[in-house]
Amino acid sequence: MNNPTHDLIIIGGGPAGYVAAERAGAKGLRVLLVEKQQLGGVCLNCGCIPSKALLYAAKRFYEATHGAAYGLHAVSVQFDFSRAQAHKSQTMDTLRKGIQGLMKKYKVDVISGSATIRPDRAVVVGDAVYTSANILLATGSSPARPPIPGSDLPHVVDSTGILALETLPKQLVIVGGGIIGCEFACCFGSLGVPVTVIEMLPEICPTVDPDIAKILRAELERKNVTFHTGARVAAITAESVEFTVDGKPHQAPADCVLVATGRKPNVRGLGLEALHVDFDDRGVRIDDHCATNVPGLWAAGDVTGKTWLAHAASRMAEVVIHAITGQPDRMRYDAIAGVVYTTPEVATVGLTEAQAKARGLPVRTGKLPMGISGRFLAEHAEGRGQVKVVAHAETGVLLGVHMIGGACSEMIFGAAAMIETECRVAEIADLVFPHPTASEVIREAVLAMK
């Protein structure tokens, strides 16, 4: 390639794209970052960050109005939805400015527009043409909408649209009981909105350990949420959602319907067909170094369909930069934690018991209620929560940790470190956890293994 304009061209400015740009710029590479909307991608602009801002506001409201066990008696507590939305927007704006500052610090060329890759591997943005030996696809994903009659009605929204609501719904129906659906169910249910969740599978959050998912469903049912599992949506009307359970028809009234049935990788309109890239609508296929089948073309994040987590996307971006600069590295997905930011929170890392058995691994499990922790019981009067651990029955290597209750999102990194370093049960038993903390239950669950 004669006189390339850059050492690396990145298409997409989300958690994969901007992290790759930052890491590459820090190593002295000439980087071009192309983003057609706003830096930060789905996570910052219409996903992780805005949803967590609203979830936190809803949690504070719920605690203020349900604090009798702790001596709190709410005389008059009102929720200002517009002020919560303003806080959400302010948080997003602050973080966008932070990313812009990082791009400037590391001398990353940032341009706005849609990029396509020509067969000669030149990247075209508008009338401009750029070249590089390395191109990173970090185009993310979009909400997937099933072909449900009535899904184009004005009161039907996706996970982006529901974040832009100006007023609270009177009755919310959520189609899909996965992580996104459950988080929004928790948010609006905690604010007093009656929520109905319609899930096709027998249990909610199918990627979560079934024991944990069952507890989560029970806890959300205490927050104005009604679940219909094993249900199929037939149609959406102006007043309700029609669905069937065991062949019997049902209706759920709604003035707002959230369709939360997953996401799809953004793989179209990039020119990948002409480049003979190995991809389909499930994503761009990559190896453990995030390399595609086309030399010099890399992919990271949701566009690969490998995982739908922002932190996984950022880690994949780091692996790409290490590969480009000759630093040995590879992706290891089993040690990447996932969180459901409901109340109570769910946090999980590694294999579930079923996944381990499906791999043919002999397993031992330990399971304890969070309520055995003095700290947890003091802060959660009803004591609901659980830790489940999975280990290899012969080697003792920790394979998975699955938790529900309290701030387990802030504890799961420790379990991730144990799995990443292949800790054994005997080694975990030697660790001293601080007391009183909820994290002590992880060690106790390991000691209780059978």
> In the chain, pLDDT over 70 holds for what percent of residues?
100
In degrees and rounded to multiples of 5, residue 248 shows phi and psi of -95, 135
Tokens 């038993």, residue? 429
Q: How far apart are CA 8 and CA 353, in angstroms?
A: 41
Average pLDDT over residues 87-110: 97
Judged against a pLDDT cut of 80, whether residue 20 lies above it is answered with: yes
Residue 76 burial (CB count, 10 A): 4
DSSP string, 377-426: HHH-TT---EEEEEEETTT-BEEEEEEESTTGGGTHHHHHHHHHTT-BHH
Cβ 302 vs Cβ 308: under 8 Å: yes
Average pLDDT over residues 308-335: 96
The pLDDT value recorded for residue 450 is 77
Residue 138 burial (CB count, 10 A): 32
Judged against a pLDDT cut of 80, whether residue 155 lies above it is answered with: yes
The pLDDT value recorded for residue 75 is 80
- Of 208-222, 258-272, 373-387, 422-436, the poorest mean pLDDT is in 373-387
Quote the mean pLDDT of the chain.
95
pLDDT digits (tens, 9 = 90+) for 63-84: 999 989 999 887 889 999 999 9
pLDDT digits (tens, 9 = 90+) for 31-64: 999 999 999 999 999 999 999 999 999 999 999 9
pLDDT digits (tens, 9 = 90+) for 299-310: 999 999 999 999
pLDDT digits (tens, 9 = 90+) for 113-152: 999 999 999 999 999 999 999 999 999 999 998 999 999 9
The pLDDT value recorded for residue 1 is 64
- Of 226-230, 246-250, 446-450, the poorest mean pLDDT is in 446-450
Q: How far apart are CA 403 and CA 392, in angstroms?
A: 19
Per the rule left: phi > 0, alpha: psi between -120 and 50, beta: everything else, 374 is alpha
List active site positions. 435
pTM over 0.75: yes
Cβ 226 vs Cβ 214: under 8 Å: no
381 pLDDT tier (thresholds 50, 70, 90): confident
What is the separation of C-alpha 104 from the centre of its chain, rounded to a whole number of angstroms? 28
